[in-house]
Chain A
């Protein structure tokens, strides 16, 4: 079973649409959760951290369900510039808490069309 699983897409949506991505993770010891975005052949860029209570940053809303080991990202009013791959990322701390390796999902590709 994959550690972090995402629908690879692509999701093709018109400008202004609302789109939702889902992600599941297998390791119940996971402590921190993130969404990163990655443009083609570029580095992952932190979009937002995901908190248990859910959090919002402008047009972006992230939710976490620890019981179901499920993370979601909602993008409202999609812009052309939102076109990218969205990476679901989970942090499993090391034994001495200094490691904190990130485990990445394969990403969900979003294409926003005019």
Chain B
């Protein structure tokens, strides 16, 4: 069964550094998402991406964040100048078509900012 994959599984970085989180969505999916979950809190939407552009973004997704689909398979989330409060699990998700509402999540990248 096809799955969303994410790398790395755990990233430790120092405050102020830039990190890139990588995702490979399910191959025939067209819609891509990033969510985050701070430890002990609920899952929060960050951004959606379709047809090589951002469709929607939340208030969390400010200028510190950017997304890119650099090739036909990868979908990345870049976080510039990381802060302690960026420490969280970051989940990538994908969805097949506009007629299908279900989103499938990758295993996540645990980001620790020290």
The chain A residues found within 8 Å of chain B, CB to CB, are 31-32, 34, 41-46, 49, 87, 91, 94, 96-107
> In the assembled complex, which residues on chain B have CB atoms less than 8 Å from the CB atom of A96?
55
Select B107's contact among A32, A42, A98, beta carbons within 8 Å. A42
One of B13-21, B43-51, B65-73, B74-82 contacting the partner: B43-51
Number of interface residues of B (CB under 8 A): 28
| Highest count of chain B CB atoms <10 Å: which of A94, A97, A102, A103 | A102
Determine the distance from Cα of A103 to Cα of B44 in the docked complex, in whole angstroms.
Answer: 7
Select B48's contact among A31, A32, A41, A99, beta carbons within 8 Å. A99
> In the assembled complex, which residues on chain A have CB atoms less than 8 Å from the CB atom of B31?
98, 100
Q: Are A100 and B105 in contact (CB under 8 A)?
A: no
Q: Are A32 and B104 in contact (CB under 8 A)?
A: no
Task: Supply 14 further A-B pairs (C-beta < 8 A) apart from A46-B104, A49-B102, A91-B101.
Answer: A32-B101, A34-B102, A41-B89, A43-B108, A44-B91, A87-B42, A98-B31, A98-B50, A98-B56, A100-B31, A101-B56, A102-B33, A103-B45, A107-B42
Specify the chain B residue showing the minimal Cβ separation from A4: B42
